[in-house]
């Protein structure tokens, strides 16, 4: 299966390389394409931007890559002939030097050549603070409902498989609700003394009813009540495998399938799901990998 020869700039590269193993494959002899990663010295929670540049006269006809906890990085074609993908650098990694490799098929004069591209990045160490949360034992007992948590996660993941193959976001990103930042991304959390995990998103303390706005433009892929953890929850697909998630809402004001504009009120702060009080928990994910929401607010994301 080749990269479609359509005029759309939203061409997609997320094709397994096995699918392009054709008899026309020849030994890579042309000057190799290049793979670049930015930023070159990220920290855990950052979004890595990966770009494949073909050599002059070549087109990219297939791409396969895994990186960190992402088994299949999704790449998207740009109008300049390059391919771009995003990857989250997980919060449970130490700093150090990492080698990234992509298997690339390039086409030149109708013939396909397969080559492995590599690049290196030096990640900085990032230490996340520990947070101890106290809960009524009747509420905390929910933590043992493993099957219910897993089912809810599967439901959310099922809506995030086919991101729009292009950037729906524009310009800067906004924090979705006004209020104090009470728990930042990555905090190492214990509930009543039991390990609960690292914080997947960021919390904004705000009264029930406070407007929740889309952090950027996109398309709603989930809008429903999820009783175990998330409560009233909205997932927005921003394209190119970039998602934002809004949880514990008192009200949901959008439907799945609907397009939303940056800043549009999509719901209201609440205390539904697994919570101790009224707040907004919001996340930014690349595929399923949670990244620091502050990263896009501070640096943006370019496609």
* Interacting residues toward Zn ion by CB under 5 A: 203, 281
Tell the smallest beta-carbon distance from residue 203 to Zn ion (Å).
Answer: 4
Cβ-based nearer residue to Zn ion, 121 or 245? 245
Say if CB 13 and CB 75 are below 8 A apart.
yes
Cβ-based nearer residue to Zn ion, 32 or 133? 133
Cβ-based nearer residue to Zn ion, 58 or 289? 289
Tell the smallest beta-carbon distance from residue 200 to Zn ion (Å).
Answer: 7
Tell the smallest beta-carbon distance from residue 247 to Zn ion (Å).
Answer: 7
Tell the smallest beta-carbon distance from residue 282 to Zn ion (Å).
Answer: 8
Q: How far is residue 295's CA from residue 23's CA, in Å, rounded to a whole number?
A: 44
Tell the smallest beta-carbon distance from residue 199 to Zn ion (Å).
Answer: 6
The pair of structure tokens assigned to 209 is 């009813």
Look-up: residue for tokens 């700039």?
A: 9
Query: Per-residue b/e over 208-238, b at no fewer than 16 CB within 10 Å?
Result: bebbbbbbbbbbbbbbeebebbbbbbbbbbb
Residue nearest to Zn ion (CB): 281
Cβ-based nearer residue to Zn ion, 82 or 182? 182
Q: How far is residue 280's CA from residue 52's CA, in Å, rounded to a whole number?
A: 37
For the chain, the residue count is 303
Backbone angles phi, psi at 259, to 5 degrees: -85, 145
Cβ-based nearer residue to Zn ion, 203 or 237? 203
CA 65 to each of CA 9, 86, 166, 288: distance values in angstroms, whole numbers, following the listed order: 21, 11, 19, 16
Cβ-based nearer residue to Zn ion, 240 or 245? 245
Tell the smallest beta-carbon distance from residue 38 to Zn ion (Å).
Answer: 28
Q: What is the 3 state secondary structure string of 244-264?
A: EEEEEECEECCCCCCEECCCC
Q: How far is residue 255's CA from residue 220's CA, in Å, rounded to a whole number?
A: 7
Q: How far is residue 47's CA from residue 104's CA, in Å, rounded to a whole number?
A: 22
Tell the smallest beta-carbon distance from residue 89 to Zn ion (Å).
Answer: 20
CA 62 to each of CA 85, 130, 147, 257: distance values in angstroms, whole numbers, following the listed order: 13, 43, 38, 30
Tell the smallest beta-carbon distance from residue 165 to Zn ion (Å).
Answer: 30
Torsion angle, alpha carbons of 158, 160, 165, 167, to 10? 170
Any idea what DSSP says for residue 71? S
Cβ-based nearer residue to Zn ion, 61 or 198? 198
Cβ-based nearer residue to Zn ion, 115 or 208? 208
Q: How far is residue 237's CA from residue 122's CA, in Å, rounded to a whole number?
A: 30
């Amino acid at each position: 299966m080749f990269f479609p020869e359509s005029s759309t700039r939203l061409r997609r590269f997320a094709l397994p390389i096995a699918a392009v193993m054709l008899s026309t494959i020849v030994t890579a002899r042309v000057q190799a394409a290049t793979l670049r990663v930015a930023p070159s010295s990220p920290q855990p929670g950052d979004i890595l931007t990966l770009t494949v540049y073909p050599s002059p006269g070549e087109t990219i006809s297939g791409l396969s890559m895994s990186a960190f906890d992402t088994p299949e990085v999704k790449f998207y074609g740009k109008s300049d002939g390059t391919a771009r993908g995003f990857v989250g650098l997980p919060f449970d990694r130490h700093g150090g030097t990492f080698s990234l490799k992509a298997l690339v098929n390039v086409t030149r004069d109708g013939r396909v050549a397969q080559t492995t591209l590599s690049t290196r990045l030096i990640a900085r160490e990032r230490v996340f603070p520990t947070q101890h949360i106290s809960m009524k034992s009747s509420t905390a007992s929910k933590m043992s409902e493993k099957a219910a948590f897993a089912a809810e996660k599967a439901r959310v993941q099922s809506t995030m498989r086919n991101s729009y193959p292009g950037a729906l976001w524009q310009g800067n990103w906004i924090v979705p609700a006004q209020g104090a930042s009470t728990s930042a991304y990555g905090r190492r959390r214990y509930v009543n003394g039991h390990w609960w995990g690292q914080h997947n998103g960021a919390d904004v303390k705000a009264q029930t009813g406070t407007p929740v706005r889309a952090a950027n433009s996109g398309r709603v892929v989930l809008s429903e009540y999820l009783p175990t953890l998330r409560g009233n929850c909205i997932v927005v697909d921003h394209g190119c495998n970039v998602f934002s998630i809004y949880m514990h809402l008192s009200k949901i004001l959008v439907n799945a399938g609907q397009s939303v504009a940056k800043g549009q009120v999509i719901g209201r702060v609440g205390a539904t799901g697994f919570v101790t009080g009224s707040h907004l928990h919001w996340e930014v994910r690349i595929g399923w990998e949670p990244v620091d929401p502050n990263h896009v607010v501070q640096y943006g994301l370019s496609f």
